[in-house]
Amino acid sequence: MKKEWLFFIGCLVLGIVAEATIFIESIGISYSVFIAAFYSFFFYQHRKRALHHKQINGFLFLAIWVLTLTFTIYSNPIFYGLNYLLLPILVVLHTVLLTSSKKTNWYTSMFVVLIIKKISQFFHFLKVTSKFSGRKLKRRVNEDTYQTGKKVCIGIIISIPLLFVITTLLSSADEKFSRVLSSIPDIFFSFQTDILWRVLFISFLTILFYCYLKVVGKKTNIATVILKERQKNWDAIIVTTILLVINLIYVLFIAVQFQYFFSGTLQNGLSYAEYARKGFFELLLVTCINYVILIFTMSFTIQDKFRMVKVLLSLLIVCSSVLLGSAFIRLLLYEAAYGFTYTRIFAHAAMIYLFVMFVYTLIKVWANRLILSRFYLMSSLLFYVGLNIVGIDQYIVTKNIERYEETGKIDIEYLGNLSYTVIPPLVELYEKNPNVNGLKLMLENKKRELKEEKATWQSYNLSRERGREALSRLE
């Protein structure tokens, strides 16, 4: 019983920490504080338990901490919202995997079944806990107490209209009493409502933590289901014919358009925007279609007995990579003409990601023992974490300033909508070129915005502080 109470008190402390760090002020260093508190309590609870899958769990733990620290170091608005939603999901996956059986393969459907079952158990346990607490509370309240409370409520309801009439008359008789009386609701409700809301919310969080940590700590048996091996019944001759025709089209297309792809010259009558847009989306779409063809062919065709299928799949990957490279170059040309933005950088990142997937898939074509799902899951998370820490905002503002120095063109309005990371480089640009159109006004607005922003320990952010420091140099 004592152990159970200590566990509940630990969940209560987690609820208080979560409410104070995540839900009161804007998130900064506070998310790191909460993650540290959560994992400290979690590992303490499971200190005597053998934890499995150490490699993938170590990778997930590192990814979680890196994404958590981005709230302290960076202030990218896109990743801010994505990480706010993604981190709880990663923590759930991590804790379930930590407490799962050694036989559970995290990259198979077995782990998906385990996650679904844990979620189902969580809601069931939450329902049972709520019913049990309600019954226990009802047992403690005897009949006399119930009748007394009932009569008090009736008395309050009856007194409300009388109280309204009396206070109205007294307020009319004395103006000072009226002012005092009118200020009471504001003081009472602003104080009591805030405290009541926080207590209720902390109680809610405590129950959530209590139910989840109870469920995740219990052993969950998954009924062993023998899944039929995916039937690879696509006819190899038909598949070979299809791949051969598609590859011939791509080879012919690349051969005819090779100079047009990589020369960077414009066709007659096309502007830079038309040139980039006209080819970019089509090439990217064709590349995605090729990827779907590739995956389905590998999944439903026996390749070992038909080496020609492997050769044609390899050629398809090479052609797709060439198309991807062409789209990449087109986007570079477009950025050189019109500047760098989130959308264009993320498009570049998506193409790099696809290229990495193509390379590994090409290896998989010739090495059947490799597991695509494991590589895709780990590399996708690694790629996303990498995007968080490379400093996209810093890259965008740096490249746009370089473009300004070459062309005299810069979109200050767009740069002003980015995160606080861009402030120091823009301050340096202002010190060198104070006559840049709109730059002075934008920096003044940023300075005013930071001055009016409420400074709390929860929302501490390194990029914001560097931006504030850079702006303080301005007169």
pLDDT in tens, 272-288: 556 656 666 667 778 88
The answer to whether residues 49 and 17 belong to one domain is yes
Q: Which of 312, 326, 325 is nearest to 246 (CA)?
A: 312
pLDDT for 271 equals 60
Task: Tell me the residue range of the domain where 69 lies.
Answer: 1-146+192-227
The answer to whether residues 398 and 429 belong to one domain is yes
Calculate the alpha carbon distances from 150 to 141, 283, 463 in Å: 12, 73, 57
Q: How many CA atoms lie within 13 A of 181 on its CB side?
A: 15
Tokens 């370089």, residue located: 402
Enter the pTM of the model. 0.81
The answer to whether residues 258 and 407 belong to one domain is no
Residue 164 in domain: no
Residue 166 in domain: no
The answer to whether residues 248 and 373 belong to one domain is yes
Q: What is the DSSP string of 216-258?
A: HHS--------PPPPP--S-HHHHHHHHHHHHHHHHHHHHHHH
In the chain, how many domains are there? Answer: 3
Model confidence pLDDT, tens digit, residues 350-398 = 889 989 988 998 888 888 788 888 899 999 999 999 999 999 999 999 9
The answer to whether residues 424 and 447 belong to one domain is yes
Residue 432 in domain: yes
Model confidence pLDDT, tens digit, residues 48-103 = 888 888 889 999 999 999 999 999 999 999 999 999 999 999 999 999 999 988 88
Question: Of 112-121, 149-158, 179-188, which has the strongest mean pLDDT?
Answer: 112-121
The answer to whether residues 351 and 243 belong to one domain is yes
The answer to whether residues 406 and 381 belong to one domain is no
Tokens 């981005």, residue located: 70
**Alpha carbons 326 and 312: distance in angstroms, whole number:** 21
